Amino acid sequence: MKTCAQKYLFVYLFVIATFFVAIQSVTAKTSQDLTFSSELTYTPTSSIFTLWAPTAEDVRLNLYLQGAGGTVFRTVPLLKKSDGFWKTEIDSDLLGKFYTFQIFYKGAWLKDTPGNFAKAVGVNGNRAAILDLNSSNPKDWEMDTRPPLAHFTDMVIYEMHHRDFSVAPNSGIYNKGKFLALTEHNTTNSNGQLTGIDHLKELGITHVHLLPSYDFGSIDETRLEDNKYNWGYDPKNYNVPEGSYSTNPYNPVSRILEFKKMVQALHQSGIRVILDVVYNHTMSMDDSNFSLTAPGYFYRFNPDGSYSNASGCMNETASEKDMMRRYMIESVLYWVKEYHIDGFRFDLMGIHDIETMNQIRKELDKVDPSLFMYGEGWTAGSSPLSEDLRAVKKNGLQMPRIALFSDDLRDAVKGSWSDHKAAGFVGGQSGLEESLKFGIAGATFHPQINYSKVNYSKAPYANNPDEVINYVSCHDDMCLNDKLKAASPNATEQDVQRQNKLAQTIVFTSQGVPFMLSGEELFRTKKGISNTYQSPDSINQLDWENKSVQADLYTYYSELIRLRKDHPAFRMDKAAEMQQHLKFLDTNDTCVVAFVLNGHANGDVWEDILVIHNGNNKKVEVTIPDGIWTSVVADGKIDTKGLVKYKGKKMVVAPVSSIVAFK
């Protein structure tokens, strides 16, 4: 028999449980029926302001004449609705004015906030701006269309930072470090070679991955003359372009119009645009727009009440909560519809839950199935969210058509990210052959791979090759050449170039989606610094003179990209097709991986394609299928018309190089 205390405890728990069910029901209904993106609805005759602040005791709207400075010229109370939203309507034309919300919570007015879904802001993003978004559209914006894309594996992604790409004095670009830099054509270095957007088109990439371009908090937009630098992984306003990349951060229209002009110019050049999004944390915590509207709701917390920190940035958001999930979905859809964005790279995607990522994929598919999604399948620290629910690599098979970065291939090729001196396959390190094969097979299942010997993953995490990103460098950690130099300190520049070419040949002949860091085609260096998120331009900028000095390397990159684009055998998008046509060869050599793509794979005009990668600092002889083979890649050179013919069952591969041949 229950004691009296037990009875009361039972009743208490029942009441609490009923309360939380009711809250969840209201929140779930709210997330379906009302949206964050309705925080401001403007017309010349009225403006409607809405804010989701379910725990607020009162909410007021403050109106300003300027985006910064000055004082409130009008305060308007908002009325509470039954669903946690607050609302007011002002029947006058407020065009050009600015506003903030304030909530009264636990007996005090919190700080001003532009709200969670501001679409335009003043300088430094502290106040939201009232404008007609149609006024921010460039000429013929309604005619802007995405360049065609048949399959995700047809992509070639080029990761770039706005400032790095254009700020160097020898870039030939006028709008250095700005969105508009990517609208300027016919820019050249001192030798007349193309730079900027024309360089991208000439190189042959299909997508630019823009490092964070929303309004972030680390740059003071009123002091741009200070030339402060940041990658932008410190979100402030998720749905407005960053002001420091515009020509006038004080004018709310400038950043929006210029961002759209950039997208339009890239589309007209046949290049799609991917946005790097950082929904996993915010720059500030108690003073973030999330905390100033719904304190405590949008984040995860430790049992002691402190912010959990899977991001490594002192906080992490809670995507599994209905309104955070709804927020992320609405935000990406807004960038697609308003700014014509073509894809998203999710920073520390492993912090988010699987269900949220799958819902985003579902919603993007409704707009255009060719919109791409990918992200980092890991966290930067522990999280209260169960690992079984996280969008991490080990759960990749549960996220169809969402790609994950292959750190397995990356570190197998160039050496561990955590040890600068550790050599990889291209540095002659043996024992990485199965990891290389895992990457070549697109992180999918292949019967010839021994998964117990793969460096990080002991099982496939991609259903099909279009769910993996193959790469050897990105903004994080050392750029490729700096890593190769650190791991081979006695190597000559020519030696490093050979390793560089071999590394990228592995990436671009692997099944999956190839990805490269901007400037690697120019033999980029960051002076050996691995974490350059606050380093000056002298460290981060691309040296465009290297397009002349390193002409051989640049040509190799562009021809490698052309080879991949011309031959669909390297771009299979179904695992079953790849298992049928991709056969690894037994080489009996360490630091050598060889395979054949046979039977006109994926409709290729070449019947069979042979690929051999030799990471040894010596030539090797490899037994190959009998026949007459014509090489198109050999000893660091590319010629798609043919280099050398081979006949017989043996082929000699030069040190630290690849052979690609066909018959």
At 214, which amino acid appears?
Y
The whole-angstrom separation of Cα 103 and Cα 568 is 57
The residues annotated as belonging to the active site are 347, 376
Provide the token pair at 384.
Answer: 């209260």
Within 8 A by CB and 6+ apart from 440, the residues are 409, 506, 509, 510, 511, 582, 593, 595
> Over the Cα atoms of the chain, what is R_g?
27
Contact 408, 466 (CB under 8 A): no
Contact 587, 606 (CB under 8 A): no
**CA 174, 272, 536: angle at the middle one, nearest 5?**
45
- Reference 514, options 553, 579, 468; nearest CA is 468
| Alpha carbon distances (Å) from 478 to 416, 505, 532 | 11, 19, 9
**Displacement of CA 188 from its chain's centroid (Å):** 28
Handedness of CA 611, 617, 622, 628 (dihedral sign): positive
The whole-angstrom separation of Cα 474 and Cα 231 is 12
DSSP string computed for 367-384: H-TT-EEEE-SS-SS--S
Structural element, H or E, at residue 512: none
Burial of 314 (0-12, 13-18, 19+ CB in 10 A): middle
The whole-angstrom separation of Cα 502 and Cα 58 is 63
Beta bridge partners of 634: 637
Contact 310, 379 (CB under 8 A): yes
The whole-angstrom separation of Cα 507 and Cα 560 is 10
- Cβ atoms within 10 Å, residue 527: 11
DSSP string computed for 397-408: GGSTT-EEE-HH
Within 8 A by CB and 6+ apart from 414, the residues are 424, 425, 426, 427, 472, 473, 480, 483, 484, 487, 503
Beta bridge partners of 96: none
The whole-angstrom separation of Cα 395 and Cα 477 is 25
At 524, which amino acid appears?
R
- Cβ atoms within 10 Å, residue 492: 9
Q: Please report where in the chains the tokens 């974490």 appear, as a residue.
A: 531
Contact 355, 61 (CB under 8 A): no
- Reference 39, options 139, 120, 126, 134; nearest CA is 120
SS3 state at 178: coil
Helix axes 493-508, 551-566, angle to 10 degrees: 10
Handedness of CA 548, 552, 554, 559 (dihedral sign): positive
Within 8 A by CB and 6+ apart from 224, the residues are 244, 249
Torsion, CA 556, CA 562, CA 566, CA 567, rounded to 10: 50
